Chain A
């Protein structure tokens, strides 16, 4: 619904307000029920205008001459849901640096000085699924403010120094994100309900912030900031006609977007999981429970609104009365109905309680929800909830800003302008059976995913009553090491270290002489809660042949690379490798530890300052040469054996960028080499699996038939 017609707007003006008197709930009137409640004075809808400019920008204007001020707020169809997964933080930082970094003709610092000296306020931001811009100016500064705002929105410069500043802010907030239990709970609950990689739950890491460049911001701005994606609400001391002209001039010539807005990501509806964040410095637990809800255009919208008014959306609700006031378990307790205007909302309940009542309070909350879907609410509760909703409706018209913002929302998300009136009528006619029908359709306490943060050891229960428990590790993945510029000395030291590493593993010459090898390794991994064992038998002939047989719980899988071709054989049949996959498999032959040690000359090694690996100071060597990725090889300072190799990778589960680390826990003597026997593999410092080498043989008797199809 891009255009609002006149009749809809007029409808808002003739709305009649239901001013229900308090329904008497007992025969004898209580003292306050005897107080007379006169008719509510009529609501005079403020005059406003809706204008669509030639470039499709939508304006809502309302004059207000009481104060010599002009306030302009823009809603923009942009958000972090549109940013790439390996650059989380790009959208938010673009919104910040648009303002802080200034424009092509004015520096951000100059804008600061100008704005602060005039008492103006000019801001821009990008949130999850909306962006915005805001201007507040004294009347006499309207032109200046508008000029600044348009300049910032259209011609941001994104200078490097302000990008760095924004990145420092992001890094600081990453480093502090586990300081407050409420923050942890909210963040991890979203990940538990949506899935950790969902665009509405995922969050920035040091690596995704570091990956953002000036060009990314330029491109993001160019992709998303266009007049046809923008709604302006303008309120204040101006003449509408004149203001429209000014806005039109300020944004004249701005190109429309060339592609339509992508659909929002689907909101998943997973069954319950139970997730615990153990933090032993806490004396209070924060518990969230939630699952997918509905959109506001669902037939159950009004029913769950009334239901939630009874359950936990207010002061005198069942949750508040029972969990807080009667049992004294919590200060903070409540619920949200689970409706959203743009997307299905989340049905959420939460509480904060002392460690010793964590499970009890969670059960108490879930029990109240269960009651709501089991038996009808009482007549008294229904009457009170309806009165509450209907009597407070007048506040939907409290300020012009509120009214116009709501119109923008309805227009953006495709709701009729009389949505509120229809809702009000539905509430008025609502029966307790309808409330039950709605809550039963939308609320499913047994499906509510649970996330609790607290000192687990002190809890009154281990939460397994709610289902199998998963412990959530909230350790913040450390940023990749910042590598100092190489010097001749650090390069020389790096080469020497790697030469001694090769010597420690059997000798440089011996490695250089490896033309082929065969290896069998057993890998044990826990994948989605299941322990699995894989056996990998690998035969490699340098430079470009490899035959790999993987024995998996699902059957055997063979993949072969042979020069310029590659294929795989498995339960699904015979399949050619994609070019990209083949290239990466071939690269791996040259870039795993053995590949590096047999071909030291192909690499540049830079010695870094000693760094601790699991309690032991090691000598790190920064290796680049083959492929795009770096490796940091940590050597034991005494034996020169490799302790750990760190490199950027991709999570096999989620395909998200991660830091991959291979720890070598034990070595073995075999075939004249000292080779890794026990290894551990982590992604973002989370253990993925352990491996054991069963056999290794260099320069074996090759059956070249393995490499023909």
Chain B
């Protein structure tokens, strides 16, 4: 080897530390064997993967409820409840539990009166409406006196919590952060109590303020947000994917704390909750603290809700006249993530519209140069129920949604008529293997995957079966499934057409 200026800093101290801690280098091959699990009596399911590299851990709490569970009148409630999970418990977030309870009751009464008057619409008495608004504002102000603002989040942050967040989808509500590992018991106390004892304080300020502003940000003031909400409304007429997770503005306004309480009690129950922890934790300690802090969650008996989407009898489409630039989206109904054809959908979506060698990228972006982006993915807006395979394209300047449509349908027709090549299928399989291994790195990513598979498929081991399921897909499967889903009557199209601003 040629001479070089080299500063060797391989330090034995580190290796010694590692050896002293007794950690044995794990390899991904035996990762599955290192994953442990248990279920509490109330049904809360825990999955644990120890990784002692760094004294931190990541977790996910998956609650098996999302906007698809909502019925008319309470759209957006899963997401509001997610916000409320940061508002504390009977112990956290208040300076006077009893006084607060009374003040909240007054809030609820005045809101009920206000809502009743509002719902009269044009027939509402404006004087009375103004009085009720004033009383409601006063009641909110009174209740606020007993609030220690954001104490729950503050405890997490001043204990070193990182990445404190949560999200709600059509299918699930998910809570997450990363914590120093000496705070495992504190974590269990915090997470267990917000799953069993949320007070729903600041309910009205939160939904009328931040939640409403979030809808304005994500949907009303964002062209893709506007398009996607309307597209979803059109594509799914009957099942829970009909409405967006953020919910309709009027429902956000009208939902009451009692609605929220009821929804919480029905859905935040043991059998709906999966918790995964990955990092510097000991399995027996997790078990101990889980039992201590998560056992108050009632077992519950959540009933599955699924209205099946009736067979679509004709193509559906909409044109959104908008001041923004053109966008194209098309969706085809497909089965849910547990259907045997799911891996086939994944292969089709990959070959058609994922990566630089996909059919759509090669045709629309590279060759015809009519799009800057053209992609497909299965599972919009969720994966738990019958769902959609989505095609999404962004035209170059001067091209329209119509131009995208013709080019995309041409590529889809080719797959229906001729299937895909053996090389394309082999490349998907190779990518799946590589991506599977990449996905195993990192505490947070692993915690997410384990809880996801447990919630969606009933067993976290699904993560380790993904590769073989894709391996099993044949060229014939692809052509058969393509022929089934890519038919005109199964299709919904939505485009943005640019309208000059006035």
Contacts and interface: CB of A to CB of B under 8 A. Distances in A.
Interface of A: 3-6, 9-10, 13, 19, 22, 30-32, 35-54, 65-69, 109, 112-113, 115-120, 136, 138, 164-165, 168-169, 171-176, 179-182, 240, 244-245, 248, 280-284, 314-316, 320-321, 324-332, 352-354, 383-385, 387-388, 390-395, 397-399
Among A53, A314, A325, A330, chain B packs the most CB atoms within 10 A around the CB of A325
Contacts of A172: 325, 372, 394-397
Interface string B196-220: 0000001001101111111011001
A41 B55 contact: yes
B18 A44 contact: yes
A164 B355 CA distance: 20
B365 A54 contact: no
Interface string B1-37: 1111111111101110110010001111000000000
A36 B21 CA distance: 23
Given A164-B369, A321-B149, A354 B213 contact: yes
B423 interface: yes
Given A41-B52, A392-B162, A67 B28 contact: yes
Among A42, A44, A68, A169, chain B packs the most CB atoms within 10 A around the CB of A44
Nearest to A8: B9
Contacts of A32: 91-92, 155, 186, 189-190
A53 B4 contact: yes
Interface string B28-72: 100000000000000000000000111110000000000000000
Among B8, B92, B210, chain A packs the most CB atoms within 10 A around the CB of B210
Contacts of A116: 355-357, 427, 431
A240 to B, nearest CB: 7
A49 B12 CA distance: 12
Contacts of A52: 4-7
B109 to A, nearest CB: 20
A250 to B, nearest CB: 14
A51 B27 contact: no
A384 B164 CA distance: 16
Contacts of A174: 397
Interface residues of B, number: 100
A430 B431 CA distance: 51
B222 interface: yes
Given A32-B186, A44-B17, A332 B217 contact: yes
Among B6, B11, B161, B220, chain A packs the most CB atoms within 10 A around the CB of B11
Given A330-B213, A395-B160, A43 B54 contact: yes
Contacts of A109: 366
Contacts of A352: 213, 216-217
A113 B357 contact: yes
Contacts of B410: none
A82 B475 CA distance: 50
Given A42-B55, A284-B216, A69 B11 contact: no
Contacts of B15: 47
A49 B27 contact: no
Interface in B125-143: none
A283 B221 contact: yes
Interface stretch (B176-184, B237-245, B305-313): B176-184
Contact of A283 (B91, B216, B280, B502): B216
B209 A13 contact: no
A354 B210 CA distance: 10
Contacts of A171: 396-397
Contacts of A165: 365-366, 369
B371 to A, nearest CB: 9
B469 interface: no
Interface string B146-166: 000111011111111110100
B221 A181 contact: yes
Contact of A168 (B26, B52, B396, B502): B396
Contact of A316 (B157, B216, B324): B157
Contacts of B53: 44
B430 to A, nearest CB: 5
B122 interface: no
Contact of A328 (B10, B181, B210): B210
Given A13-B11, A54-B5, A119-B431, A180 B223 contact: yes
A392 B160 contact: yes
B210 A176 contact: no
A486 B440 CA distance: 61
Among A36, A174, A326, chain B packs the most CB atoms within 10 A around the CB of A326
B205 A19 contact: no
Interface string B358-398: 00000001100100100000000000000000000011110
B280 A41 contact: yes
Contacts of A332: 213, 217
A40 B55 contact: yes
B154 A384 contact: yes
A283 B280 CA distance: 46
Nearest to B210: A331
Contacts of B314: none
B14 A117 contact: no
B366 A315 contact: no
Contacts of A181: 221-222
A448 B178 CA distance: 34
B437 A138 contact: yes
Contacts of B55: 40-43, 394
B501 interface: yes
Contact of B182 (A4, A31, A41): A41
B435 interface: yes
B10 A240 contact: yes
B441 interface: yes
A47 B2 CA distance: 24
18 contacts: A3-B7, A19-B180, A32-B189, A54-B3, A69-B438, A119-B432, A119-B435, A176-B325, A179-B223, A182-B217, A280-B501, A315-B154, A321-B150, A325-B205, A331-B211, A384-B154, A391-B160, A398-B56
B73 interface: no
A6 B9 contact: yes
Contacts of B164: 315
Contact of A118 (B56, B212, B430, B432): B430
Nearest to B188: A35
Contacts of A320: 150
Given A22-B158, A41-B280, A331-B214, A4 B372 contact: no
A245 B1 contact: yes
Contacts of A30: 91-92
B115 to A, nearest CB: 18
A3 B7 CA distance: 9
Contacts of A39: 182
Nearest to B153: A315
Given A52-B6, A391-B158, A394-B160, A175 B397 contact: yes
A48 B9 contact: yes
Contact of A248 (B4, B158, B186, B217): B4
Contacts of B324: 176, 179
Given A45-B14, A164-B369, A179-B325, 18 more contacts: A19-B180, A22-B159, A32-B91, A32-B190, A41-B52, A44-B17, A49-B10, A53-B4, A65-B27, A174-B397, A280-B502, A315-B157, A331-B217, A387-B158, A394-B180, A395-B178, A398-B56, A399-B54
A309 B25 CA distance: 38
B12 to A, nearest CB: 8
A40 B54 contact: no
Contact of A138 (B10, B14, B158, B434): B434
B467 to A, nearest CB: 11
B7 A50 contact: yes
Contacts of B156: 315
B437 A68 contact: yes
Contact of A112 (B6, B162, B182, B357): B357
Contacts of B5: 52-54
Contacts of A68: 28, 437
B411 interface: no
